[in-house]
Amino acid sequence: MSNFSVSKDPRFWLFTGLGVLCLFPFISSPVALILGFTLASLGLIPACIDLGSLTKKLLSWSIVGLGFGIHLDQAIEVSKQSLPLVVGSIVFTLLLAVALTRMMKLDLKTGYLIGAGTSICGGSAIAAVSPAINAKSDQMAVALACVFVLNSVALFIFPVLGHALDLSQHDFGLWSAIAIHDTSSVVGAASSYGDEALLVATTTKLARALWIVPVALISALAFGGNKKSLSIPAFIIYYCVAIGIAYLLPQFENVYEVLFAVSKRTLVVCLFLIGAGITIKKMRAAGHKPMLLAITLWLAIGTSSLAYIKLLG
């Protein structure tokens, strides 16, 4: 689309204006998501905007920016403490997904992708595992729709549940990192709960995200898929580099604080973009059984991880 036609499209300026508005602190994560969903529902998303590509890039760089606010010593300690919970939740969720998929007589690859998205990191895990198991585009779309809807719901209800259960900052951060699907909503929920919750949630969630590679490899072996398509997401590597820079060059702490603050706001914009990608049509396309499986897995990982965290506390 030419610059002239873009300038003549009021949807473009409405979309851009609301996106910029999400950079300001008076727009919370849930509100940003609702704004995006409202635009999508009213058919006001401009055709010239590639939502998928834009969201992926902005989310990746936002997470990298958060790395500058992570203290390496704390990150190592959190990762060590959460390792049994991270590994246990992934294995438990994937095995339960396969068992329930067979019980419900649901397409195996669709069910497995829902399990991968629930157990690791939502859409990123589904996108990584799909080529590894030779999943079809419609199987991937259904899995993404199910996980996407529940991920959006989690952003709203988890902070409420956390306060109702009187969870500490640490415990809420750990719980949200395990029980919420996508990194964007984990960060959104945790940032609304507090800075310590955000630190714990971000570190634990990205530790989970690293398991995309071994899970995709095992999945490829199990399904006879494409092992050559496996790779570590670049944003995870850059996130670790950002943590390393902040650790080795502490004299620039003021700069890191600015980068961290800006990244927290651009993540809110990411949630606006994610909301703009949700439509009633996509939600209906998920169907009855896939959504039932997704809800069951989500409840299972949410309640079991909370029980584990409470037990340790």
pLDDT > 90? residue 162: yes
Return the higher-pLDDT residue of 160 and 151.
160
Give per-residue pLDDT as tens, 204-262.
887 787 787 788 788 888 887 556 655 566 777 887 888 889 999 999 999 999 998 89
Angle (deg, nearest 10), helices 288-312 and 169-179: 150
- Return d(Cα 61, Cα 169) in angstroms, integer: 25
- Pick from 309, 75, 126: which is nearest to 233 by CA? 126
**Structure confidence at residue 33 (pLDDT):** 78
Q: Which residues of 125-158 are buried (b: 16+ CB within 10 A; e: fewer)?
A: bbbbbbbbbebeeebbbbbbbbbbbbbbebbbeb
Return the higher-pLDDT residue of 169 and 37.
169
pLDDT > 70? residue 286: no
Give per-residue pLDDT as tens, 89-102.
899 999 999 999 99
Return the higher-pLDDT residue of 283 and 179.
179
- Return d(Cα 211, Cα 201) in angstroms, integer: 16
Give per-residue pLDDT as tens, 25-52.
888 777 887 898 889 888 888 888 888 7
* pTM beyond cutoff 0.85: no
- Return d(Cα 245, Cα 171) in angstroms, integer: 28
105 in the Ramachandran plot: left (φ > 0), alpha (ψ -120 to 50) or beta?
left
At 229, which amino acid appears?
S
Between the ranges 62-76, 112-126, 231-245, 278-292, where is the mean pLDDT highest?
112-126
103-107, 256-260, 275-279: range with lowest mean pLDDT: 275-279
The pLDDT of 18-30, averaged and rounded, is 87
Mean pLDDT for all residues in the chain: 84
How many CB atoms are closer than 10 A to CB 173? Answer: 30
Helical residues (DSSP H) of 105-182, grouped into ranges:
108-116, 123-132, 137-164, 169-179
Confidence of residue 109 (pLDDT cuts 50, 70, 90): very high
**Long-range pairs of 19-27 with CB within 8 A, sequence gap ≥ 24:** 19/269, 19/272, 19/273, 22/265, 22/268, 22/269, 22/271, 22/272, 23/265, 23/266, 23/268, 23/269, 24/265, 25/265, 27/268
Q: Is 290 exposed, middle or buried (0-12, 13-18, 19+ CB in 10 A)?
A: buried
**Structure confidence at residue 292 (pLDDT):** 94
CA triplet 8, 10, 16: central angle to 5 degrees?
A: 110
